[in-house]
A and B are shown apart, each in its own frame.
Chain A
Amino acid sequence: MTVQLDWPPEVVDRLSEEARQKGLSLSPSKGMAQPIFPARQKLRGDIRSSESRRSNSFSPEPGLPQYGNLPYTSEGEDRVPQTTRRARTQKRPTPPAKTYRFDARLNEQQKLLIQRAADLEGRTMTDFVLHSAEAAAEQTIEKRAMLVLTARETEAFVDAILNPPGPGPVLRKAVREYREKMGLR
């Protein structure tokens, strides 16, 4: 469960600054993870905020290492991307792309396993599950649409293409029968 502490932004800024000085800015400790994430919700103009909050990808378990250089963890406007700044000044956030919900139940073992894998990659569980499922789906579709030959299969295949076997007696007979049944010449 995520504990959400609504710390004032100044405190958050001070904490991140302190962490940065100690060389810890990109991987905050357990204590750091909690104050930083609630702070981002104050950035109403952030173009990604509404979408991210909906998909829940920014409420990790405590202790999850932060893996990106996010604009709201740094001070000053210098590191805020152009698009974000524009969105903020216009006070009109870009409407998020249409998203869909997907609910699934999992037992404790599955949850622990997936959580552990997600932790190892520094991702949230949702993020990890979605990425994995996407890759698996692509693989399934590719498998359905393509046959990938191994080296020794290729050898036999190329051989057959260069010297195609003629039709044997079974195939010839089957074609003959087909012609008769279907009323072809």
Chain B
Amino acid sequence: MNPGCRVELLSPSHDRASFDSGVPELDRYLHDQAGQDARRKVATPFVLVDGPASILGYYTLSAYSVRAAELPDAVVRKLPRYPVLPATLLGRLAVNRAHRGQNLGRLLLIDALRRSLRNTSEVASIGVVVDALDESARAFYLHHEFGQLRDHPNRLLILMATIEKAFKTR
């Protein structure tokens, strides 16, 4: 990877059509839908680039909510009953097949966490939620210290407080 690589908002100048992650669903999304989602403000796609056009990887962020069940009395005083808490959804994350083995997935993930953390100065978010498409994706997020939810095997979560500490400590 060149040192000049950077993450930026998806724009029409990026060559989306040639992106190939090996997962058809993730490719199709970038080819056909990501631009539309960005225009409609449904999700914000970010791309990792090192040249003028070619995309090494991408991820999307969008607003999300976590609704808790009725809370036990012991904590009701600390949080509202039936709270709906704002969160950030890391909806998709994919790396171009030609650039595998360079830890770009990790780079994209940390970039997404950093961006989510920075956004909390404007819009509150309790943490970042991901939807793992398969077992290897699940293992990837677990390895990066996301927490598991007992009744939602494919949703994983990392608290913003944890992300904040990770960026504060050296």
Residue positions of A touching B, CB distance < 8 A: 145-158, 160-162, 164-168, 170-172, 174-178, 181-183
Using Cβ atoms and an 8 Å threshold, which residues of chain A touch B6?
182
Give residues 105-120 of B contacting A (CB, 8 Å). Answer: 106-107, 109-111, 114
CA distance A177 to B102 in the complex (A): 12
Q: 6 extra interchain contacts, Cβ-Cβ under 8 A, other than A149-B149, A157-B68?
A: A146-B66, A150-B151, A154-B68, A158-B68, A178-B111, A182-B6
Proximity string of chain B (63-81) to chain A, C-beta cutoff 8 Å, 1 when within and 0 when not: 1111111111001001100
Known: A146-B65, A167-B145, A174-B106. Contact between A153 and B152, CB under 8 A? yes
A-B contact pairs, 28 of them (CB 8 A): A147-B65, A147-B67, A147-B152, A149-B68, A149-B69, A149-B149, A150-B69, A150-B151, A152-B150, A153-B150, A154-B68, A156-B150, A158-B72, A158-B75, A160-B147, A161-B79, A164-B165, A165-B159, A170-B144, A171-B144, A171-B166, A176-B170, A177-B103, A178-B107, A178-B114, A181-B3, A182-B7, A182-B107
Using Cβ atoms and an 8 Å threshold, which residues of chain A touch B70?
151, 154
Using Cβ atoms and an 8 Å threshold, which residues of chain B touch A174?
106, 109-110, 144
Q: Is the CB of A167 within 8 A of B71?
A: no
CB distance from A85 to the nearest CB of B (A): 43
Known: A147-B129, A167-B166, A183-B3. Contact between A153 and B149, CB under 8 A? yes
Interface residue tally on B, bucketed by range:
35 or more
B151 in complex: contacting residue of A152, A161, A164, A172, CB < 8 Å: A152
Using Cβ atoms and an 8 Å threshold, which residues of chain A touch B87?
147
CB distance from B37 to the nearest CB of A (A): 12
CA distance A145 to B62 in the complex (A): 9
CA distance A166 to B167 in the complex (A): 11
Q: Is the CB of B152 within 8 A of A172?
A: no
Using Cβ atoms and an 8 Å threshold, which residues of chain B touch A155?
72
Say yes or no: is B9 at the interface (Cβ < 8 Å to chain A): no
Say yes or no: is B161 at the interface (Cβ < 8 Å to chain A): yes
CB distance from A149 to the nearest CB of B (A): 5
CA distance A154 to B69 in the complex (A): 6
CA distance A172 to B164 in the complex (A): 11
Proximity string of chain B (109-146) to chain A, C-beta cutoff 8 Å, 1 when within and 0 when not: 11100100000000000100100000000000001110
Dominant SS at the B interface? mixed
Say yes or no: is B155 at the interface (Cβ < 8 Å to chain A): yes
Q: Is the CB of B166 within 8 A of A175?
A: yes
Q: Is the CB of B66 within 8 A of A157?
A: yes
Q: Is the CB of A170 within 8 A of B145?
A: yes
Say yes or no: is B33 at the interface (Cβ < 8 Å to chain A): no
Closest 6 CB pairs of A and B: A164-B161, A167-B166, A178-B110, A154-B69, A154-B68, A151-B69
CA distance A183 to B3 in the complex (A): 8
A153 in complex: contacting residue of B69, B106, B107, CB < 8 Å: B69
Known: A147-B65, A178-B107. Contact between A161 and B159, CB under 8 A? yes
Say yes or no: is B169 at the interface (Cβ < 8 Å to chain A): yes
